[in-house]
Amino acid sequence: MTKYLKTAFQFGILGGILSLASFIVLSFLYPDPTNLNLIFGYIITPIALFLGIKFFKDYTNSGYLSFAEGMTVGFVTYVLMGILASLGIWVVLFFSPELFSSIQQTKWAVLEENKDIIISQVGQESFELTRSNLKGMTKWDVAFNDGIWKIIPGMFFSIIISIILRKNPN
């Protein structure tokens, strides 16, 4: 099992650090770095997964890769990325309450600006629920959301990459 974990840890940690660095850099450039950080996550997650699975195949497993091995390495990689990104963002927001306030205010402004469109699409009740959830938003909610949006796409990218890189011994 450790042969799967070594490569997955390396690329999971690298992806998590890059995701956190992206959040920090974007927080200096924009009042709400969360949306752009999600886009960055859609770029870094498949790259980290591909490199992790490819390195496992080439340097640990003698050029062979079963679908299950690729999924195992991918799973550990994307879950580790999500956990590190979430914890890192939570720590940043914990020590920077003004950044959290800025994120909350930006999301509030977007909600109010698009009130009529949202009500016409999902109804007044859903709009009011969203409004109350936004009022109760915590720092952990922001961080957890970022981590989830590394894990969910990571699952699908792992499937695709594991199929593409699969090579079984004859």
pTM confidence score: 0.90
Show the tokens assigned to 25. 């850099």
Residue 2 has a pLDDT of: 79
Q: Nearest 5°: phi and psi at 123?
A: 100, 160
Q: Which amino acid is at 114?
A: N
Question: How far is residue 168's CA from residue 64's CA, in Å, rounded to a whole number?
Answer: 5
DSSP strands (E only) in the chain: none
pLDDT in tens, 111-160: 999 999 999 999 999 999 999 999 999 999 999 999 999 999 999 999 99
Do the beta carbons of residue 10 and residue 75 sit within 8 Å? no
pLDDT in tens, 16-66: 999 999 999 999 999 999 999 999 999 999 999 999 999 999 999 999 999
Residue 4 has a pLDDT of: 75
